């Protein structure tokens, strides 16, 4: 098995060397090679430096990935607005609130659960929202939860969580 692996590597190296030297003439000086390399590299660098009408500007730097919050993450949320409405011809209880990341790092996998109960404390159908991307520091999002309406609905509660720990929610008057 090891013998075949070595043969594969040797074959790959020979192939790369053969392809790399295919268009280079026998008698070429180093100055000719460097001039040819500059000629072929110049158009490629210009194409990278000037994307779609931005000629003369420096290329934009790639966005840095920042580690998300681990453990307890603070958020601020507005008082949820609960109203009845129709979605697709069916009755729903629609809850809308705004959430702001109060942490200094992104919150990955933010999840909001809306739990409904009847007078006896028995659970009823509920809804859940999961934010599709990390919530950046200071970013404000609007969360809409649509729970099927049930005449037994009496009270509800919201639960916040994220992928790497708990959420410490704080009710704020406005965003």
Q: What CATH number did the domain enclosing 165 receive?
A: 2.60.40.10
* Residue 92 within any structural domain of the chain: yes
Measure the CA–CA gap between 8 and 31, rounded to whole angstroms: 35
* pLDDT higher at 155 or 5: 155
Total domains, the chain: 2
pLDDT value at 37 more than 90: no
Same domain for 108 and 23? no
Confidence of residue 127 (pLDDT cuts 50, 70, 90): very high
Same domain for 115 and 147? yes
pLDDT at position 129 is 96
pLDDT at position 61 is 80
* pLDDT higher at 172 or 89: 172
Confidence of residue 29 (pLDDT cuts 50, 70, 90): low
Expressed as residue numbers, the domain containing 85 is 73-171
């Amino acid at each position: 098995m090891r013998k075949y692996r070595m043969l594969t590597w040797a074959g790959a190296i020979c192939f790369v060397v053969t392809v790399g030297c295919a268009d280079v003439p026998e008698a070429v000086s180093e100055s000719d090679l460097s001039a040819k390399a500059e000629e072929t590299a110049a158009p490629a660098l210009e194409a990278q430096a000037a994307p779609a009408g931005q000629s003369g500007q420096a290329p934009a730097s790639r966005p840095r990935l920042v580690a998300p919050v681990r453990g307890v993450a603070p958020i601020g949320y507005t008082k949820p607005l609960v109203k009845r409405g129709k979605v697709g011809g069916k009755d729903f209880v629609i809850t809308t609130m705004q959430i702001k990341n109060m942490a200094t790092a992104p919150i990955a996998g933010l999840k909001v659960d809306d739990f409904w109960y009847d007078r006896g404390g028995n659970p009823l159908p509920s809804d859940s929202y999961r934010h599709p991307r990390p919530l950046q520091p200071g970013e404000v999002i609007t969360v809409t939860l649509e729970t099927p309406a049930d005449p037994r609905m009496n009270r509800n509660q919201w639960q916040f969580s994220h992928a790497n720990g708990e959420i410490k929610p704080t009710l704020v008057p406005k965003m």
